[in-house]
Amino acid sequence: MNQDAIFQTLLRTMQSAYSTNTEMMGFAPFPNDIIRQDVIPYHCNCSAYFQSDIRLISKNYSELQNAISTASKLVHWRETYKGSDIGNYFMDRFGCYCILGENAPFSSDVLRLFMVYMPSGLYYPWHHHPAEEMYMVVSGGAIFKQSDCPDKLLSEGEVAFHASNQPHAMETTEDPVLCLVAWRDNFQTPPVLTPNTKFSVR
Ligand SMILES: [Fe+2]
């Protein structure tokens, strides 16, 4: 497959998974203003970590997982927390690239879409951002934490909603997790670690 075919497969499988999830569609309809754009590849340690994780297995979204994996060699991996106190252990393992948005193969004026990956046994400390957010688990599972709510263990097909600037965190135990993440409104401001929380990075 050439690069364009790889990205079109990514878009098609992502749209299929998104559009068949009632909660994602309730969060925001799948955009109809999507434009293909050039992306300058950028890799970091986390991309290799994701590509070598054989424990990610999806029952219902295997096509999307495969498409995310294939496209992962051609995309711009993000280092969202570079320069923060989060530490190299987390930076080397937490994976994220944008599929719809800036430095991504596709753009839209109304929505951002990302892939987020965490291997087993990783803690993603408390953070927040102005954009409203919905996570959908594509494969594996994780404990989702948000302020003023009980922790939730989510697995494939389940979602977590984070309100604007609501602190949230995430932890994997035995399984890794791969998620599709949607942002709406105020998506120009990147996430920041939430001050005055205990950063139990392991
Ligand atoms: Fe978030």
In a domain, 199, yes or no: no
Residue numbers of the domain that contains 147: 3-186
Report how far ligand 1's centroid is from the alpha carbon of 139 (Å): 18
Say how many Å lie between the CA of residue 2 and the centre of ligand 1.
32
pLDDT at 197 over 80: no
Is residue 113 in some structural domain?
A: yes
Cα–Cα dist 46/56, whole Å: 15
30 found inside a domain: yes
Amino acid at residue number 57:
I
Asked if residue 197 is part of any domain, the answer here is: no
| Mean pLDDT, rounded, of the chain | 94
Q: Is residue 200 part of a domain?
A: no
pLDDT value at residue 165: 95
CA of 115 to the centre of ligand 1 (A): 12
Query: Considering only CA atoms, which of 53, 52, 65, 58 is closest in space to residue 10?
Result: 65
Both tokens assigned to 140? 């594996």
Average pLDDT over residues 23-51: 96
In this prediction, residue 200 has a pLDDT band, given cuts at 50, 70 and 90, of: very low
Phi (first) and psi of residue 65, to 5 degrees: -60, -45
**CATH number for 115:** 2.60.120.10
The tens digit of pLDDT for each residue in 77-105 reads 999 999 888 999 999 999 999 999 999 99
Nearest-angstrom CA–CA distance, 96 and 86:
15
Is residue 196 domain-resident? no
Q: What span, in angstroms and rounded, lies between the C-alpha atoms of 156 and 69?
A: 17
C-alpha 170/C-alpha 45 separation (Å) is 20
Contacts of 153 (CB under 8 A, 6+ apart): 141, 142, 143, 144
User: Is the pLDDT reported for residue 198 higher than 70?
Assistant: no
Instruction: Give the distance (Å) from ligand 1 centre to CA of residue 132.
Output: 8
- Reported as a pLDDT band with limits 50, 70 and 90, residue 139 is very high
Total domain count, the chain: 1
54 pLDDT more than 80: yes
* Ligand 1 geometric centre to CA of 9 (Å): 26
Letter for the amino acid at 171? Answer: E
Residue 192 domain flag: no
196/101 Cα distance (integer angstroms): 31
* pTM reported for the whole predicted model: 0.95
Distance 27 CA to ligand 1 centre (A): 14
DSSP of 78-89, one letter per residue?
Answer: --TTTTSSS-HH
Using CA atoms, how far apart are residues 156 and 57, in angstroms rounded to an integer? 10
Alpha carbons 150 and 168: distance in angstroms, whole number? 11
198, part of any domain: no
